[in-house]
Amino acid sequence: MDVKIELGKKIRLLREKNGLTREAFCDDELELTVRQLTRIEAGQSLPTLPKITFIAQRLLIPIHHLIDEEHIELPKRYLQLKFGLYKLPTYREDDRVAKKENYFEEIYEEYYENLPEEEQLAIDVQQASMDVHLTENADFGEGLLSDYFSQILQKKEYSINDLLIIKLYFQCIYYKHYDEKTFFFLLDRVMEQVDYSVDVELSLLNRILVTAASIIIKYEKYSKLIDVVKVSKIIMQTSQDFQKKPIIDMVEGKYYLYFLGDRELAEQKYKDGAQCARLFDDPMLGEKILQELEDDLAIVNINKN
């Protein structure tokens, strides 16, 4: 028995029995979109537990009337690969890129077809994010953003997938269609998530803040950098995950250099970041931070002259 097909048929029959169109069933589409419901009813995707809970509530039946919870448990190996994707930065280094591509390949070959739709979305968004990052082409993310981004703008609290989509959006607008008002609106919302995020969400929030910092720097809104730095430091203290500290130290250095004009303090922060990277056994990142220091000092010197 194909669980997805049987579940989809059951949901469609019960919905129709209740006299509800898909549009009426999904209501404001914050929990479930019409597109997602259509795919579920067609047996093309398996909903996650939150979506099954919402569907059961709309149908006024217990969850177990739809599906046994064991059918939506995710394989341990898949979860290892998924969280590996969250935590592995590539910095465009060949070895890291190859490792991440191997993660994607194993997921797509072994697990993807039988994953719930939201899990498939999480993988697709991360694949698009890497493609945008490596090619500097925002077109890789536009299809996913057109399907899901409007929902994000209506929410106050974000799921992991919401955060992944925001990160993809930030990566895309770095290269194309930068909208300052939308960017800072979302950045403020992201920083507010610290109050009720844990574990993986906090790690992801920090990655988003690093991406946001790159946009702030590109568009020379240097006064905003210190807010990103402060929230990032809170995240690192709360999670005890300091992986992004070298980059955040460098970002803080850019704030001192470009906004406050304090060259001495700026240089120290860049060097702190480089030293931290070496302590984390990432000498290549340390070298990149020191090169960034040289480049930025040269820019400042040119501007003075």
Query: What is the CA 279 to chain-centroid distance, rounded?
Result: 26
Q: pLDDT-derived band of residue 68, with 50, 70 and 90 as boundaries?
A: low
Q: How many whole angstroms separate alpha carbon 274 and alpha carbon 279?
A: 9
Question: What's the chain's Rg over C-alpha atoms?
Answer: 22
Torsion of CA 46, 81, 93, 268, to 10 degrees: 110
Query: Longest C-alpha distance within the chain, in Å?
Result: 76
- CB-based contact 168:138 (threshold 8 Å): no
Question: What confidence tens digit (pLDDT) does each residue in 15-40 have?
Answer: 999 999 999 999 988 888 999 999 99
The pLDDT of residue 72: 58
In 3D space, the residue among 196, 204, 215, 108 whose CA is nearest the CA of residue 165 turns out to be: 204
Could you report the per-residue pLDDT of 97-134, keeping only the tens digit for each?
999 999 999 999 998 887 877 888 999 999 999 999 99
Query: What's the mean pLDDT in 200-220?
Result: 93
Full DSSP string of 215-281: HHHHTT-GGGHHHHHHHHHHHHHHHT--TTHHHHHHHHHHIIIIII--HHHHHHHHHHHHHHHHHTT
Per residue in 247-265, pLDDT (tens digit) is 999 999 999 999 999 999 9
List, as own/partner pairs, every contact residues 13-19 make where C-beta atoms lie below 8 angstroms and the sequence separation is at least 24, other chains included.
14/59, 14/61, 15/41, 15/58, 15/59, 18/59, 18/60
| Number of C-beta neighbours around residue 117 at 10 A | 18
- pTM of the complete model: 0.79
Q: Is the pLDDT of residue 71 over 70?
A: no
The rounded distance, in Å, linking the Cα atoms of 225 and 217 is 8
For residues 83-89, average pLDDT: 85
Reading the block at residue 47, the tokens are: 């909903």
pLDDT at 305: 67
What percentage of the chain reaches a pLDDT higher than 70? 96
- For residue 75, CA distances in Å to 49, 70, 103, 107 come to 15, 11, 14, 11
Cβ atoms of 51 and 28 within 8 Å: the answer is no
Q: Are the C-beta atoms of residues 205 and 195 closer than 8 Å to each other? A: no
Residue 201: per-residue pLDDT: 84
Each as own residue / partner, the long-range contacts of residues 92-98 (CB below 8 Å, 24 or more positions apart, any chain) are: 92/133, 92/134, 93/284, 97/130, 97/134
What's residue 90's pLDDT?
86
Lowest mean pLDDT: which of 90-94, 147-151, 263-267, 301-305?
301-305
pLDDT of amino acid 62? 85
Question: Looking at the predicted structure, is the pLDDT value of residue 88 above 70?
Answer: yes
What is the pLDDT at residue 140?
Answer: 94
The confidence band for 298, taking pLDDT boundaries of 50, 70 and 90, is: very high
Mean pLDDT of the chain: 91
